[in-house]
Chains A and B, each alone.
Chain A
Amino acid sequence: MTANLVEIVSILAAALAVSFGAIGPALAEGRAVAAAMDAIARQPEAAGTLSRTLFVGLAMIETMAIYTLVIALLLLFANPFA
């Protein structure tokens, strides 16, 4: 039962981590893309540089969500207490 409880809590924690961890990067990506669109609309000739920087920035932001995913996977597959 204890082992079962740990598993249940681990699964819940993984789901919580991914769901809440996705909120921040989602908002951040939205802001970043909006700002990039604004900048491209203002300066269409700088679209190449802007979109390249945007992609790198998005990847960086996405990394935050990936971190939570890694935590979730650790909880699911490599739980030190299981």
Chain B
Amino acid sequence: MDNPLTLEPLFHLGPVPITAPVLVTWAILALLGLGSWHATRHLSLTPGRLQTVLELFVTAVDTQLRDTLQRDPARFRALIGTIFLFLLVANWSSLVPGVEPPTARLETDAALALIVFAATLWHGISAQGLKGYLATFAEPSWVMIPLNVIEQITRTFSLIVRLFGNVMSGVFVIGILLSLAGLLVPIPLMALDLLTGAVQAYIFAVLATVFIGAAIGDQPPAASTQETRP
């Protein structure tokens, strides 16, 4: 059985070792890029089936963002939508034979969590100013400053480990089952994997939204951005 925690580079591109998740991510990137370019090339006021689906998706993201942030979702739409879409496609890429989801590797999840962390900082500073954002760390009182700083780090870690654990465990369990039974037996678990993948993508996007919402504060009418701790 492969060690799910280690990565062997497939080949080297100059000094850069290229691993399987990077390759799969490139494929996903090309797929999503070409697909979206193709889908939005001929937009019209009377949408076709594909355009309706895309509009429904964008509207759903907007609604979710507006509900959570109580703000105009235009600035956050691309980030949250991209995270959700990428995670969904990456989690479901296990359907393709021989492909391991890139999210089953710690590095991809860490990259995503890093981006979310950076976006949290960026939006928090741009919304409240550097001083205002730093002041939120001493929110109830200055005693809480170390705890708040630790919370920033731990919640990023929990974000990484949650996604990694869920996807990796699914892949791992299927690998074990395949080595034991082979035909047909892993199918229910694969279906469960699909559900888990979708739910985890949703949870990751929602948590990213909540983190950003907590960072930008709630000056506009009573935003309900309660901390959702793992």
- With both chains docked as a complex, state the minimum distance between the C-beta of B3 and any C-beta of chain A, in angstroms: 5
Q: Which of B70-78, B129-137, B164-172, B218-226 forms part of the interface with chain A?
A: B164-172
Q: How far is the CA of A80 from the CA of B161 in the complex (A)?
A: 18
Contact B5–A59 (Cβ < 8 Å): no
Q: Mark B5-25, 1 if CB is under 8 A from A, else 0.
A: 110000000000000000000
Q: Among B3, B161, B165, find the residue whose CB has the most chain A CB atoms closer than 10 A.
A: B165
- Asked whether A69 lies within 8 Å of B206 as measured between CB atoms, the reply is no
Chain A interface size, under 10 / 10 to 19 / 20 to 34 / 35 or more = 10 to 19
Q: Assuming A73-B4, A77-B4, A78-B5, is B206 touching A56 (CB within 8 A)?
A: yes
A59 and B200 contact, CB distance less than 8 A: yes
Output the residue of A59, A63, A66, A78 with the most chain B CB within 10 A: A66
A63 and B166 contact, CB distance less than 8 A? yes
B179-229 with Cβ < 8 A to chain A:
196, 199-200, 202-203, 206, 228
CB of A65 to closest CB in B, whole Å: 9
Give CA–CA (A6, B144) in the complex, Å: 39
Q: How far is the CB of A52 from chain B (nearest CB, A)?
A: 9
Q: A66-B161, A66-B169, A67-B162 are in contact. List 13 more A-B contacts (CB 8 A).
A: A55-B199, A59-B166, A59-B196, A59-B199, A60-B228, A63-B165, A66-B165, A70-B164, A70-B168, A73-B172, A77-B4, A78-B5, A78-B6
> 28 pairs across A/B with beta carbons < 8 Å?
A56-B199, A56-B203, A56-B206, A59-B196, A60-B228, A60-B230, A62-B166, A63-B162, A63-B230, A66-B161, A66-B162, A66-B165, A66-B166, A67-B162, A67-B165, A69-B169, A70-B161, A70-B165, A70-B168, A73-B4, A73-B5, A73-B172, A74-B5, A77-B3, A77-B4, A77-B5, A77-B6, A78-B3
Instruction: Pick the 6 closest A-B CB pairs, nearest first.
Output: A66-B165, A59-B199, A77-B3, A63-B162, A70-B165, A78-B5
